[in-house]
Amino acid sequence: MAGLIGVFGGTFDPPHLGHTILAHESVHAFDLEKVLWVLTEMPPHKPDHPITPLGIREEMLQVAIQGFPAFELSRVDIDRPGPHFAEGTLRCLRESAPETRYAYLMGEDSLRDLPTWHAPLEFIALCDMLVVMHRADIGVDLGALEEVLPGIRDKVQFSKAPKVDIAASDIRKRVRNDLPYEHLVHHEVARIIRRHQLYR
C-alpha cells in the first residue's frame, strides 16, 4: 500500500508554532511519510482580505519548516493558475502521483465550515484521511456533519497534538498593537516580520 502523505494548506500569514506542532505531531501519530505545506497565493474565500505578498510568505514558510526532514514546501498552488480551492489542490496532487494516499490537515473550525467549501463532497472523496486539530471553543457534531457530507465520519481523525491556542490573526494583531509575538513564531519568521515591517 502506498504511503500516506500529509497536505497542509493555508496562507500562512504568518506561519506559527501552532502550525508546526500540528504537522509534526501528525507525522508521528498517523505515520505520515511527509507533510506537504501548500502555500495559497490568494484565498478565494477572502478576496478583500489584505495579505502579505507571496514571496515574503514563502520566505517565512521556508524558514519555519527548516530542520524538519519530513516537511516540504509544495508549489502545487503557486505554479498553477487560481482560484485555488482545496479540492483542486488534491486533484492536482493525485494526478501527479496516482498511487499516493493523502491526509489533509486542518483545524476544527475548518471542519465545521467544510460544507461551505468549494465542492466539499469531491474534496472528501479525494482525501484518504482528514486530520483535525481539536479546538475547545469550536466543537463539531460529526453526526450532523455526516448528514450534510456523507462519508466524512470515516475520514476524520482528531489529532492528539498539544493544544496550542495560536492564530495568525492574533499574531498580526499583536504586531499592530506592539505586543510580544516572537515566542509564537520561529525566530527567523520574527526577523522577517521586523525586516519587512509586516502587519503594521
Residue 88 lies in a domain: yes
What's the domain count of the chain? 1
Residue 18 lies in a domain: yes
Residue 170 lies in a domain: no
Residue 196 lies in a domain: no
What is the per-residue DSSP string for 176-195? Answer: HTT---GGGS-HHHHHHHHH
Is 193 within 8 Å of 169 (Cβ atoms)? no
Q: What is the mean pLDDT of residues 139-147?
A: 90
Q: What is the pLDDT of residue 46?
A: 59
Q: Which long-range contacts (CB under 8 A, 24 or more apart) does 162-166 make?
A: 162/21, 162/25, 163/134, 163/135, 163/136, 164/17, 164/18, 164/21, 165/18, 165/135, 166/16, 166/17, 166/18
Longest distance between any two alpha carbons in the chain, whole Å: 51
Residue 134 lies in a domain: yes
Contacts of 184 (CB under 8 A, 6+ apart): 16, 17, 18, 166, 171, 174
| Distance, CA of 141 to chain centre | 21
pLDDT tens-digit map of 157-181: 988 777 777 889 999 999 999 999 9
Residue 18 has pLDDT above 80, yes or no: yes
Residue 190 lies in a domain: no
Q: Grade residue 42 by pLDDT with cuts at 50, 70 and 90.
A: confident
Residue 199 lies in a domain: no
* CA dist., res. 56 & res. 62, Å (int): 10
Residue 54 lies in a domain: yes
Write the CATH number for 83.
3.40.50.620
Residue 9 has pLDDT above 80, yes or no: yes
Structural domain span for residue 115: 4-165
Task: Quote the cell numbers at residue 32.
Answer: 505520515
